[in-house]
A and B are shown apart, each in its own frame.
Chain A
Amino acid sequence: MWDHHTLHQRTGTIPGANGRLGATEEYAGRLHNFVLTDEGTLRSVVGPCEYHPRSYANTGGSVPLATVYGDPLLGVHHAVIGGRSILLAHYQGDYPVIGDLLSVWQHKPWSPGWTPVITDNLSLHELSEGTGVNVYAPFEDDEDRPAFRTQFVTTPRGVVIIPQGGRACMTDGVAIYPFGYDRAPAPPQAHGPAPTKSATGVWVGTADELATPRDAADFPNDGGYSHDGRAWEEIWGTCRLGSLRDDVLDVESGGSRKSNPLGGVLLSGEWRAALQWENYFGDLSPLSGLSQPVTFRKEDNLVQEKSKDEPESSAKLRMQVAWSHLQAGPLGTTGRVLARTKDLLNSGMPGLWQLFNNAAAGSFTRVTLPDNVVSVFPDNLPDSWLVLPAVKVDPMPRFRLGEMYDGCFWLARTEDEPNMYRPSLPGRYGTLPEGQKYYADAPVVAMHAIAEGMLLLTEQSVSLVFPSQGGEGYQTRTLRSGAGCVSPDSVATLPSGITLWLGQNKWFAYTSQGVVEVNQEYKEEVTGRITRARQQQAVAAVDPRTGEYRCWVPINGSTTNNVCMICDDAGLWRTRDDVHAAAVCVTQDSRQLMLALGSALVGGTRRNSLWVLDREGGADAVRPDLVTAVVETVWLRNARAQRHGTGVQFSVWLRETRDGEVTFEAFRDGRRHPAVATSTTTVATRATDAWTPLWDDADNVLAGTHREAEYGTYLENYWARRRPFWRREDVFVPSAETLRFRVSGTDWELAGMAYSENDSHKGGNALGAGET
């Protein structure tokens, strides 16, 4: 709105900021420590408060004991598994017995503190007991080197914890075990028949057998672990293992006057077995190597002609075998699969098949041995019953990245193959099917599931992974080269579906228009100042309530994330620094709290804790220092700076918050120092020209504001919303090229700004040059 000498340039709402020199006046130049309200105003950040408040135990109510959140702060994650709320954090804590402990800690709501679940001293703690069990060495990375933060991935069975440089593990809040198996069991030992006479002609067998030696040629399977059905009562039936030919009739053995009147021959046969573990979370180990074979030798269905024995069916020749030395699995193993070949000489079917432990039913039982104790399995299962192929599994490598997509757990960035990414079996999140691997063009930095597929972000590019149109496996399409990612935790998706991530000194977004670069505005303030050596520790999350993408990054050489870039659904950017978040998450329960593991200013010093953002907390909570929210205009009148103007009045549209004040400053001509006008007294954060109900500590709750002061009579009580109001600050900045105003304070709310100026141009009355 222009008039000849006075300019009123109004900016109704200014939810976004733009740091560019020539930014249009619809933007603020800087918006710091504001949160967008439901009404579209900006209110200064409140809180944070501690998630686990300081303990008042054993202090007599005097000085609270601090829960120790020592550096490094490496990760935080919340999940709900089976209705159970699981909160995990990774930091250097203080355990009552052990002392300083870099650990992944679990927070149990019913318990007064944090319990270590994985520690750096080779221990993996049973969650229920809190005692250490030496299992493996999860952490090599016990110092705060530049690295990705500890990764957490929620699966339907539990949370996968991926320490950087350590072995991943999985917890459902009750138990914690190594994620998948990194090794295979030993092969089982075979027990089957042997010839009664060894190859060297020596008689072998038990003492009874040797006392009545039999013809090794006629009874070639009578030694060793020899169990067939011939000695059984008829009602017991026969054994089941072995291939028969029943078309051979009346074979006579000349030496011993034996014949085969009913016919039938047990053919030579061979079987091998392999073992596989299954753990608490349903993950399978790689199959062991194949056992030594169980071997049957060809045997005729002979009877002695002069004996009184009746001829028997050749089915009586079938045998049973046994497998022993079934190795018990490591901690977390709850069952074992014993797999066996079919008759390798006769079946013509290669491969291993799962045995089951019940002859009557259960050919689809989960595992062969539902325990981790027994070491022997008597095997009387015929080949024809074997219908479940054994699952071929690769060992679980050490890896740094994980993501859930398409019902599978995807892992990437293994120690040996940083470019490789691969899926698990569906439903078995720690079980890697043999050989299913994919490779990217550069080391993988992040994987992030979105509606269209899974974004695969490498150091160089971004691709989309989606199910193969061929129907088996997955395929990849590169979306944009040169739009790589630097930190896996910087990736997050806004409610609108736009996915943002931090690249090299810039943010990128995957939108319906493809991959685009965003946030050029804050280059000078933030993006250009990111500590490059530490950018891989940037962390981000989307606040469900405001829909804001919040990404904490280290700037100005800081080794910790010391500023948060905010982008809302409208693509508008702001900053905040109430918490220096080393890790961040959103609780997945009804509370939808945003939690940040990091530091905040308490009494002027930075203090580590797990903070609940945007919450003030209970009355007895540790109260961090109030943050100062700052709004600065852009350089006003920059589009007409060649014509000097005089700033006359600056107005802010506020909304009542408290009985306080904000600081006002004015700058001129492109310099943000010194302020040419400063006022701290006149811009009140409540309307002073109208009745405002105030809370007070006095006995009457509203401290007299709800009664008429003069007569002491009570006014009618009613609830009133905080009202917006204008505050004008007279300012005189004579003949300036550009103007800039700054308002800062604690606990205040901004709705809009306006300013007025007098154009220094003298209209048509100025004399022409040289006309004196």
Chain B
Amino acid sequence: MWWFPERLPKSGTVVDPVDYSAGYLPAAEELGRLDETNFNSALQAELDAGADLAEDVWLRWKLLAVNYEWDDIRSVAAAGRQTVGAVGSWVPVDTLDYSFAGRGGILDVHTTIQCWRLPGVGDAYRSVAYLQSGIEIDGTVVMEGALGDFDVGDEGQAMEVGRTGLVWRDALNVAMPVAPGHHRVRAVVRLIPKVLTYFGETGGYDAFSLNTLVDTGFLGTLDAIFDPMDPAPDAYGSVFLGSREMLIIEKT
């Protein structure tokens, strides 16, 4: 609407590349430039009065994804699916990994990850191990924005120690100022054993499930459950990562 082609192709006009180029150029020029012309009325209200639109308003974004829609968990073998089994260390999430050179400024990263445990065993495992998820910037997990930051306080239990259960979706967001230069942003998850403080503590673990597991002999001994150094995945169950995406916005 805001560019004005010099000539439009009309019935009976002689086809000429220069004429048509003149018609396309304004649009091409407009797309190459970011100013308030590119903002709609809702967005422009957020622009400060003092904003220098030639310099201040500048952003670029990158979207990485494996499926945008909810994965059908019944088909375990879907493409792009990732299994997280080992306990203890942060594991990069496949595909959600982006390296770039930036101008510096605020890095705004959003991730969503669909997670579930194997059908049928979720009940058994849900109180045994937690999945924590976070965003790693330049090799360091931003714990302030991670699910499972161990910041035990007024937050929900999931925020403190991670997520458990059958099926869920983690949505994370961190905003970090970064220096100009090369950066790498990754989504990461890790599986940790449930931390037991004492038996029966509310929120510490699910007593019913624990007893069930022991009684049925599914887990063997209690030692196997509470030994955080035990890397055996079958003791804690695996978590599957399905559809997931990461949006990185660089604001300068």
Write the residues of chain A forming the contact surface with B, with a CB cutoff of 8 angstroms. 46-47, 49, 51, 53, 82-85, 108-111, 128, 174-175, 589-591, 593, 612, 614-619, 656-660, 686, 692-697, 702-703, 719-722, 747
User: Is B11's CB under 8 angstroms from A695's CB?
Assistant: yes
User: Is A110's CB under 8 angstroms from B44's CB?
Assistant: yes
B37 close to A (CB within 8 Å): yes
With both chains docked as a complex, state the minimum distance between the C-beta of A592 and any C-beta of chain B, in angstroms.
Answer: 10
User: Is B8's CB under 8 angstroms from A694's CB?
Assistant: no
Query: Cβ of B54: which chain A residues have Cβ within 8 Å of it?
Result: 82-83
Which 9 residue pairs across A and B have the least CB separation, nearest first?
A83-B54, A83-B53, A615-B4, A659-B12, A693-B15, A719-B17, A109-B37, A695-B9, A174-B49
Query: Cβ of A659: which chain B residues have Cβ within 8 Å of it?
Result: 12-14
Query: Cβ of B11: which chain A residues have Cβ within 8 Å of it?
Result: 695-697, 703
B70 close to A (CB within 8 Å): no
With both chains docked as a complex, state the minimum distance between the C-beta of B7 and any C-beta of chain A, in angstroms.
Answer: 5
With both chains docked as a complex, state the minimum distance between the C-beta of A700 and any C-beta of chain B, in angstroms.
Answer: 12
User: Is B3's CB under 8 angstroms from A591's CB?
Assistant: yes
A selection of 11 A-B contacts at a CB cut-off of 8 Å is: A83-B52, A110-B36, A110-B44, A615-B5, A618-B1, A618-B5, A656-B14, A657-B14, A695-B10, A719-B17, A720-B16
B216 close to A (CB within 8 Å): no
With both chains docked as a complex, state the minimum distance between the C-beta of A594 and any C-beta of chain B, in angstroms.
Answer: 11
User: Is B9's CB under 8 angstroms from A83's CB?
Assistant: no
B227 close to A (CB within 8 Å): no
With both chains docked as a complex, state the minimum distance between the C-beta of A717 and any C-beta of chain B, in angstroms.
Answer: 10
A722 to B15 alpha-carbon distance, docked (Å): 7
- 13 additional A-B residue pairs with CB within 8 Å, beyond A109-B2, A110-B40, A695-B13: A49-B4, A51-B4, A82-B53, A83-B53, A110-B36, A589-B35, A590-B29, A614-B6, A615-B6, A657-B13, A658-B12, A702-B15, A721-B18
User: Is A84's CB under 8 angstroms from B53's CB?
Assistant: yes
A382 to B40 alpha-carbon distance, docked (Å): 55
A258 to B3 alpha-carbon distance, docked (Å): 89
Query: Cβ of B9: which chain A residues have Cβ within 8 Å of it?
Result: 695
User: Is A110's CB under 8 angstroms from B1's CB?
Assistant: no
B154 close to A (CB within 8 Å): no
B74 close to A (CB within 8 Å): no
Query: Cβ of A686: which chain B residues have Cβ within 8 Å of it?
Result: 14
User: Is A658's CB under 8 angstroms from B13's CB?
Assistant: yes
With both chains docked as a complex, state the minimum distance between the C-beta of A706 and any C-beta of chain B, in angstroms.
Answer: 9
With both chains docked as a complex, state the minimum distance between the C-beta of A147 and any C-beta of chain B, in angstroms.
Answer: 31
Contact status of A612 and B4, CB under 8 A, knowing A83-B54, A110-B37, A174-B49: yes
Query: Cβ of B33: which chain A residues have Cβ within 8 Å of it?
Result: 590
User: Is B29's CB under 8 angstroms from A591's CB?
Assistant: yes
With both chains docked as a complex, state the minimum distance between the C-beta of B210 and any C-beta of chain A, in angstroms.
Answer: 59
Closest to B8 in A: A616
User: Is A84's CB under 8 angstroms from B36's CB?
Assistant: yes
A615 to B23 alpha-carbon distance, docked (Å): 9
With both chains docked as a complex, state the minimum distance between the C-beta of A249 and any C-beta of chain B, in angstroms.
Answer: 60
Closest to A590 in B: B29
Query: Cβ of A110: which chain B residues have Cβ within 8 Å of it?
Result: 36-37, 39-41, 43-44
| Cross-chain contact of B1 among A53, A108, A702 (Cβ < 8 A) | A53
Task: Please report whether the interface of chain B is mostly helix, strand, loop or mixed according to DSSP.
Answer: loop
With both chains docked as a complex, state the minimum distance between the C-beta of B148 and any C-beta of chain A, in angstroms.
Answer: 42
A49 to B1 alpha-carbon distance, docked (Å): 11
Write the residues of chain B forming the contact surface with A, with a CB cutoff of 8 angstroms. 1-19, 26, 29, 33, 35-37, 39-41, 43-44, 49, 51-55
User: Is B14's CB under 8 angstroms from A616's CB?
Assistant: no
Query: Cβ of B37: which chain A residues have Cβ within 8 Å of it?
Result: 85, 109-110
A722 to B36 alpha-carbon distance, docked (Å): 38
With both chains docked as a complex, state the minimum distance between the C-beta of A433 and any C-beta of chain B, in angstroms.
Answer: 28
With both chains docked as a complex, state the minimum distance between the C-beta of A746 and any C-beta of chain B, in angstroms.
Answer: 12
A282 to B77 alpha-carbon distance, docked (Å): 68
Query: Cβ of B55: which chain A residues have Cβ within 8 Å of it?
Result: 83
Closest to B29 in A: A590
A10 to B55 alpha-carbon distance, docked (Å): 56
A53 to B4 alpha-carbon distance, docked (Å): 11
Closest to A109 in B: B37
Closest to B49 in A: A174
A619 to B5 alpha-carbon distance, docked (Å): 9
Query: Cβ of A660: which chain B residues have Cβ within 8 Å of it?
Result: 12
User: Is B4's CB under 8 angstroms from A617's CB?
Assistant: yes
Query: Cβ of A85: which chain B residues have Cβ within 8 Å of it?
Result: 35-37
Query: Cβ of A720: which chain B residues have Cβ within 8 Å of it?
Result: 15-16
With both chains docked as a complex, state the minimum distance between the C-beta of A175 and any C-beta of chain B, in angstroms.
Answer: 7
User: Is A722's CB under 8 angstroms from B4's CB?
Assistant: no
> Quick one: which of B12, B14, B41 has the most chain A CB within 10 A?
B14
> Quick one: which of A84, A660, A702 has the most chain B CB within 10 A?
A84
Query: Cβ of A108: which chain B residues have Cβ within 8 Å of it?
Result: 36, 41, 44
A722 to B17 alpha-carbon distance, docked (Å): 9
Query: Cβ of A175: which chain B residues have Cβ within 8 Å of it?
Result: 49
Contact status of A46 and B10, CB under 8 A, knowing A82-B54, A175-B49, A720-B15: no
With both chains docked as a complex, state the minimum distance between the C-beta of A579 and any C-beta of chain B, in angstroms.
Answer: 14
Closest to A657 in B: B14
With both chains docked as a complex, state the minimum distance between the C-beta of A40 and any C-beta of chain B, in angstroms.
Answer: 14
Query: Cβ of B43: which chain A residues have Cβ within 8 Å of it?
Result: 110
A82 to B57 alpha-carbon distance, docked (Å): 12
With both chains docked as a complex, state the minimum distance between the C-beta of B188 and any C-beta of chain A, in angstroms.
Answer: 39
A677 to B18 alpha-carbon distance, docked (Å): 36
A111 to B42 alpha-carbon distance, docked (Å): 10
With both chains docked as a complex, state the minimum distance between the C-beta of B45 and any C-beta of chain A, in angstroms.
Answer: 8
A589 to B29 alpha-carbon distance, docked (Å): 11
A229 to B197 alpha-carbon distance, docked (Å): 66
Query: Cβ of B39: which chain A residues have Cβ within 8 Å of it?
Result: 110
| Cross-chain contact of A109 among B7, B14, B26, B36 (Cβ < 8 A) | B36
A175 to B49 alpha-carbon distance, docked (Å): 8
Contact status of A696 and B3, CB under 8 A, knowing A83-B55, A175-B49, A719-B17: no
A128 to B46 alpha-carbon distance, docked (Å): 12
